[in-house]
Amino acid sequence: DGGITQSPKYLFRKEGQNVTLSCEQNLNHDAMYWYRQDPGQGLRLIYYSQIVNDFQKGDIAEGYSVSREKKESFPLTVTSAQKNPTAFYLCASSIVGQPNQPQHFGDGTRLSIL
């Protein structure tokens, strides 16, 4: 069964600590994305990647970093520079070159600050 797996489902971070959120997909999609959702708001794009070893900043990249060493994996690191990291983080993937193909989402990771 193809899909996107995000782990962990819940994550707690201490002040000044970096944390890494995992995202794995077995849909053979080239493009992967990270979004952040805050209460009462829509999803905002953090980073995206269209191909292995390449990624671009989205609208709110400050305080975050990513890597794309494998097609299946797109981990997101929330650094200590991110001043308001408490949010629901969603990973998505899609086919490249076919604009009418929708993004598929994982079930998210909720990050909280201790």
Rounded Cα gap, residues 35 and 72, in angstroms: 17
Comparing CB distances to other proteins, the nearer of 2 and 42 is 42
CB-wise, 2 or 97, nearer to other proteins? 97
Specify whether the CB–CB gap between 76 and 32 falls below 8 A. Answer: no
Number of Cβ within 10 Å of residue 70's Cβ equals 11
Taking the complex as a whole, how short is the minimal distance between the CB of residue 72 and other proteins, in angstroms? 17
SS3 79: coil
User: Is the CB of 18 or the CB of 101 nearer to other proteins?
Assistant: 101
**Contacts to other proteins by CB under 8 A:** 4, 6, 9, 31, 33, 35, 40-45, 48, 50, 56, 58, 90, 92, 94, 96-97, 99-108, 110
Least distance (Å) from other proteins to the CB of residue 52? 14
CB of 104 to other proteins, least distance (A): 7
**Any residues with CB less than 8 A from the CB of 66 and at least 6 apart, and which?**
34, 46, 47, 49, 55, 74, 75, 76, 77
Q: Which is nearer to other proteins, 10 or 14 (CB)?
A: 10
| Interatomic CA distance for residues 15 and 93, integer angstroms | 30
